[in-house]
A and B are shown apart, each in its own frame.
Chain A
């Protein structure tokens, strides 16, 4: 009974067509990313693919105080977004699992997902008018406050998945052995949830680093890296842009990869 019944056998031609199709889609998804990275190492300012290898554009942006400052702000935003959203997410998720399974608990895990369905443009102009109405100026902190909202859905998804597998009997055991609330949190809850918390933080950082629209509406003069990139695209083509783009790309992908490694993005 070892006959493999599923998938069905198909003709050679069918499989070849399928492979070609998949290859084309993957190529289409990655082509622009590869181009940016390749061109960023070009020795000539034009988009010639046959130019020699050079690091001149990286040297150029590394010596550009505006880019360096923006890089610092982007890093600050990423770290702050990750920490704030992780604390809020952890607090919320731990509160949610104390609720009995049912409508309330579902709501607590569903409501934070709403921003996923709201276009960044709407949230961006909403946040800008909100800051205007309460007299808060635009700054990197205004951006961070918005990025936390964008990161929270993912934090809740990750925490929710981790808590699904959480054995609450362990907390009970700790309590029966005489541990206090704080000791339980420090020695049982936290160590078990650490992969999820770390993964959620990496994911939040990836989201914040790459985020453009909210930053566009609320950063004011304190530009992040995507904003600098945007400003210079509008000024005209400049090969240094590919270097900035490549840095953004590599950083976001590395963070996403770290999130996946800490077993967050579960791949079926």
Chain B
């Protein structure tokens, strides 16, 4: 064994000895605070404060390509009632649901096969999925243009194998392209929580179920599924949030009528310079995502309990 393994050893409870003196105890407290302070200050200043500033800006007044610190609710009225925004919103919502459900289904089947059908290959396959996580966000989206374009890889392949005569045009600049690219980017993030939830199920439970004569489907329904529900929830929530706030994929792969709420936020920040409205749209979007997930998971709990 290496020295490091010797020293690190098995998991041990931390054995900070009882402090002997009051003065020493106070010194310990001070140094603990000093160690915690830098990250706490940094986190507050560059994460919490920016989000608070965004909230404040969402109440500012916009006029003539400029905004002033006069507080108003107009941005929220606009964000909640504009028919154009409503279209953007429901389009995004539809795709977010579709993508999240497909990701969970594909990742669940994938994890299940890794765990229970091909267990000898699970390490290498899981590693491959992890590696593909680092495949580059923008590069990956761009790659789908090469794949799905009019003269792209898919069309060329289908034409050269005589499956089709003329190139399929719905492949790129469409919802299809957006969904494919999102799935490609989110499936690894779906496999991650679901696989680790399955990993935590004791094989003995499954053996017991088998010995007691439960069918394979019944074992999945009564043991595996309830014990992996947290992983499923995490995967769904992550994909849903990520898709709802996406803007790069629709911009690069969607048609002009396939744009998301995120693209509208970008438009307000970049083109009209109406930052207050952009901030209000962004914050209502996130609030709605939280509410939707809350309701969904609440319903799920009711269903699984009964």
Interface of A toward B, CB cutoff 8 Å = 5-8, 10, 14-15, 18-19, 21-22, 25-26, 28-33, 35-36, 39, 46-49, 87-89, 91-92, 94-99, 101, 108, 111-112, 114-115, 117-123, 125-130, 132-133, 145-146, 148-149, 152, 164-170, 172, 192, 195, 206, 210-213, 217, 226, 229-230, 233, 237, 241-242, 245-246, 248-249, 252-253, 255-257, 260, 265, 267-268
Once the chains bind, are A98 and B126 in contact (CB under 8 Å)? no
Given contacts A22-B114, A233-B252, are A149 and B47 in contact (CB under 8 A)? yes
B78 within 8 A of A: no
Q: Which of B125, B137, B247 has a CB less than 8 Å from the CB of A121?
A: B247
Q: Which of B32, B139, B238, B252 has a CB less than 8 Å from the CB of A245?
A: B139
A85, chain B: closest CB distance, angstroms: 9
Contacts of A164 in B (CB 8 A): 11
Contacts of A26 in B (CB 8 A): 125, 128-129
Contacts of B93 in A (CB 8 A): none
A221, chain B: closest CB distance, angstroms: 15
Contacts of A217 in B (CB 8 A): 269
Once the chains bind, are A121 and B265 in contact (CB under 8 Å)? yes
Once the chains bind, are B147 and A35 in contact (CB under 8 Å)? yes
B123 within 8 A of A: yes
Interface of B toward A, CB cutoff 8 Å = 4, 7-12, 14-17, 28, 31-36, 38-40, 42-43, 46-47, 49-51, 53-54, 56-57, 106, 109-110, 113-114, 116-119, 121, 123, 125-140, 142-147, 149, 151-153, 156, 183-184, 187-188, 196, 199, 203, 206-207, 210, 216, 237-238, 241-242, 244-248, 252, 262, 265-266, 269, 275, 278-279, 282-283, 286
Once the chains bind, are A47 and B146 in contact (CB under 8 Å)? yes
Can you give 12 contacting A-B residue pairs, CB < 8 Å? Answer: A22-B125, A28-B183, A108-B36, A123-B47, A126-B51, A129-B50, A130-B49, A133-B56, A167-B12, A168-B16, A237-B149, A245-B139
